[in-house]
Amino acid sequence: MFKTIPFKYDEDLKREIEIRGRSYLTFKNYRCQLRRISEYIGKDIADVTPEEANRFLRHLHSDLKRGPQTINICRAAFYFFNQCVMGRDVPHYALAKQKVRQKLPDILSQESILAVFDTLLLRNRAILSLCYGSGLRISEALSIRISDINSKEMKVYVRNGKGGTQRYSILSAYSLDTLREYYRAYRPKGKFLFPKHSDPEKPMTPQYIQNYFSVAYKKLFPEGQNKRITIHTLRHCFATHLLDSGTDLRTIQILLGHKSIESTCIYTHLTTRHFAKLMSPLDQNGR
């Protein structure tokens, strides 16, 4: 893949993304999508027209059956490249935008998560315990540095959040014990807790562990084959279980690093204890 048409805009694309305070992950995603467009159309991405880009978006939708989020990221990459790198104005109506239908994520019980953790290899358990215990995205967990763990105040510094943002989240005692056991066993070199094997100065890539939790969960709980389980499920569980325990939405928003409280409000649809305490107005008159 990506062998036919060379991509000559790495430095320009990275510079424009960094200037706008966006993350390195955004750069990688945009570059990947731009190269896909270029390969499919068969010409340098700078020469691809909006009509041709639309043809690729239709290909993603109709032939490859990609979801709205993937299509919209590709669309955003094309706009960003043309406007910020090439200095060309492309009308926003030129490329079709997919409507994203909000689906409620599947939530697992605390007991089932811990049961899965008990089956995991030490390093993977250390990584995933941060995803659940601190509500981290997998990219955030893998970017944690040794100096980011504050065992005295039981908090973790997230320096590589979505959009290049930083925040603090809570650190669970379970995670701390697991991380200490992991550190004694692996003695990671460099500044990252989970360094890349081939280059200790870089963090591990998410691809290594992307499907690990899902496979482990469905192996232990075969009845859950139809559930949509990913590593990100652990982040959803973190927020929902906090809400169940009485934590307010504003605090959960801060811990998750959500810019808008609307993103956090989805968890009110998932909490069970919150709903159990509610009473329908039909029953409030005592009849």
Of 67, 39, 41, 55, nearest in space to 96 by CA: 55
Catalytic residue among 14, 15, 61, 232: 232
Say whether 137 is catalytic. yes
- 235 is known as an active-site residue: yes
Short-list 130, 141, 136, 61, CA closest to 95: 61
Clarify whether 197 is annotated catalytic.
Answer: no
Cα–Cα distance measured from residue 208 to residue 123, given in angstroms and rounded to the nearest whole number:
12
* Residue 258: active-site member: yes
Looking at 59, 155, 162, 274, which residue is catalytic?
Answer: 162
Written in H, E and C, the secondary structure of 69-119 is HHHHHHHHHHHHHHHHHCCCCCCCCCCCCCCCCCCCCCCCCHHHHHHHHCC
Can 162 be counted among the known catalytic residues? Answer: yes
Q: Is 232 a catalytic residue?
A: yes
Q: Which member of 22, 36, 235, 236 is catalytic?
A: 235
In the three-class reduction of DSSP (H, G, I as helix; E, B as strand; rest coil), residue 188 is classed as coil
Determine which one of 137, 145, 180, 250 is catalytic. 137
Q: Which of 30, 79, 217, 267 is catalytic?
A: 267
Give yes or no for a contact between 230 and 255, defined as CB atoms under 8 angstroms apart: no
Catalytic residues: 137, 162, 232, 235, 258, 267
